[in-house]
DNA sequence: CTCGAACCGGAGTCACGAATCCGATTCTAT
DNA sequence: ATAGAATCGGATTCGTGACTCCGGTTCGAG
């Protein structure tokens, strides 16, 4: 693969992630190409289908997420790491709609195309969850399915909270539901 | 307004709600018309724009939601009523994507078109929340914005949980986050 | 340096879906 | 019962966006 081809492919992936994050996955391919600074032809050579491009973006995102989870799973304080991970993933969920859509589509992809990345995330997240539970930081009746669905929902919820402080409190509320016994309910940090 | 016109309008609204709930709001107008048993022309006479049709569906949904909240606000046990309301709205959120999208779009409409219904929901929900808090059933640092965002997020989350028991547990987790101190964490009812 | 292969770009094709138009078909007031 | 006004329905128009095609350009091995 030629050097310029690889560079363009990388640019396209980055641009796609940014554009889809900002405008939703119904943004046009042309816009992605423009944002990447390449022609449409180039986009379609690298990703023969829009769906294909979306899938690539999702996979990359999933891979990063799995990586983050894996790293945190071996942290000193697994409980704290667990909640930090969730807060991080939700709050900083790309810039906007990214993680939610990524996981939404991933829910489909897991069973179809991007099975590898899906499994990766499942394993890493499952590990993190299990350890956090064993450490007594998370109520024991929460399973991996609940956690993944909750992650999606939390991301969505945050999208609909404009103000920053509302977002923060929202994440706090959701995470508190995961604790074995309710934590401090202070409104200000 | 002629009787058949009114009847067709009602049919269209029902069909639209069902179709959009089942297939998302990107379903085609033709499909809605077919489901309603009328021609496309009829659809566009009643709702001159697809956006217009969507808005009508959302408004209707919001109105029903506000109505439900109002009724429960004067219940004997406001706390229980509060949680039942949320569980009901989330679980039975139309059949699929409805409430989430409805509220999502409503978030926009509230500031623009369907201001009336938006305010209605806000008031009713705010009332319900306040009373539930005063009754000590809901932690006091939760505001209306958090609650509405949480409603959206919870609906979304539930969508991504296929199994019925996962859904139930998920709702439980989310609602527990709203309690002043964690409730029972039993896995089975 | 040079040549061929691979890559780039964007004008053009094609399909799909929203919205229009008007002859055919009801309804309702008289 | 009947006129005529409003409504219905679907063939058609128009716009948008995914995807193709091919001449021009760029890379890199010899």
Question: How far is the C-alpha of B189 from the C-alpha of B104, rounded, in Å?
Answer: 31
Round the average pLDDT of chain A to a whole number and report it.
83
* CA of residue B28 to C1' of nucleotide C15, angstroms: 15
Residue in chain A closest to B101 (alpha carbons) equals A156
Q: Give A86→chain B minimum CA distance, Å.
A: 14
Nearest to B47, CA basis, from B34, B62, B32: B32
What whole-number percentage of chain A has pLDDT above 70? 83
The verdict on A148 touching B (C-beta cutoff 8 Å) is: yes
pLDDT at B152 (0 to 100): 81
Q: Does residue B189 surpass a pLDDT of 90?
A: no
Per CATH, the number for A54-189 is 1.10.357.10
Q: Does residue A35 surpass a pLDDT of 60?
A: yes
The protein side of the strand C contact, defined by CB less than 7 Å from any of its atoms, consists of A 1-2, 4-5, 7-8, 37-42, 44-46; B 2-4, 26, 28-30, 40-41, 44-45, 48-51
Residues of A with CB below 8 A from B180's CB? 182, 185
* CA of residue B56 to C1' of nucleotide C27, angstroms: 26
CATH number for B1-48 (one of 3.40.50.720, 3.20.110.10, 3.40.50.150, 1.10.10.60): it is 1.10.10.60
* Strand C bases contacted by the protein (CB, 7 Å): 6-12, 16-22, 26-28
pTM above threshold 0.85: no
The verdict on A143 touching B (C-beta cutoff 8 Å) is: yes
pLDDT digits (tens, 9 = 90+) for A133-174: 999 999 999 999 899 888 888 887 887 777 888 888 999 999
pLDDT band at A107 (very low <50, low <70, confident <90, very high): very low
Residues of A with CB below 8 A from B156's CB? 100, 152-153, 156-157
pLDDT digits (tens, 9 = 90+) for B46-93: 999 998 888 888 888 888 889 999 999 999 999 999 999 999 888 766
**Number of other residues whose CB lies within 10 A of the CB of residue B5:** 12
Q: Does residue B113 surpass a pLDDT of 50?
A: yes
* CA of residue B15 to C1' of nucleotide C20, angstroms: 23
What is the enclosing helix (H) or strand (E) of B149? helix B144-159
Per CATH, the number for B57-189 is 1.10.357.10
Q: Does residue B157 surpass a pLDDT of 90?
A: no
Contact A62/A120 with Cβ under 8 angstroms? yes
Question: How far is the C-alpha of B105 from the C-alpha of B109, rounded, in Å?
Answer: 6
Contacting residues for B67 by C-beta, under 8 A, at least 6 apart: B124
* Contact flag A166-B149 (C-beta cutoff 8 Å): yes
What angle is formed at CA A120 by the lines to CA B91 and CA A68, rounded to 5 degrees? 90
Size of the A and B interface in Cβ pairs below 8 Å = 127
| Average confidence (pLDDT) over B126-149 | 93
- Kindly report the length of chain A: 189
pLDDT band at B25 (very low <50, low <70, confident <90, very high): confident
Question: How far is the C-alpha of B43 from the C-alpha of B29, rounded, in Å?
Answer: 8
The residue ranges of every structural domain in chain A are 1-48, 54-189
Q: Does residue A106 surpass a pLDDT of 60?
A: no
pLDDT digits (tens, 9 = 90+) for B3-13: 899 999 999 99
Angle between the N-to-C axes of helices B78-91 and B50-73, in degrees from 0 to 180, rounded to the nearest 10: 160
What angle is formed at CA B15 by the lines to CA B13 and CA B19, rounded to 5 degrees? 120
pLDDT digits (tens, 9 = 90+) for A43-63: 999 999 998 898 888 888 888
């Amino acid at each position: 693969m030629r050097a310029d081809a690889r560079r363009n492919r990388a640019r396209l992936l980055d641009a796609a992630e940014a554009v889809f994050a900002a405008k939703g996955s119904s943004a046009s391919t042309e816009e992605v190409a423009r944002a990447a600074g390449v022609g449409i032809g180039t986009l379609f050579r690298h990703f023969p289908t829009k769906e294909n491009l979306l899938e690539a973006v999702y996979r990359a995102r999933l891979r990063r997420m799995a990586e983050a989870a894996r790293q945190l799973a071996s942290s000193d304080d697994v409980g704290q790491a667990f909640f930090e991970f969730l807060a991080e993933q939700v709050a900083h969920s790309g810039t906007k709609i990214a993680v939610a859509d990524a996981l939404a589509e991933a829910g489909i992809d897991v069973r179809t195309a991007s099975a590898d990345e899906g499994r990766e995330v499942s394993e890493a997240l499952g590990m993190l969850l299990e350890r956090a539970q064993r450490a007594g930081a998370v109520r024991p009746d929460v399973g991996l399915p609940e956690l993944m669905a909750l992650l999606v929902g939390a991301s969505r919820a945050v999208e609909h909270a404009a103000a920053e402080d509302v977002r923060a409190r929202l994440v706090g509320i959701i995470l508190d539901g995961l604790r074995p016994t309710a934590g401090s309910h202070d409104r200000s940090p």
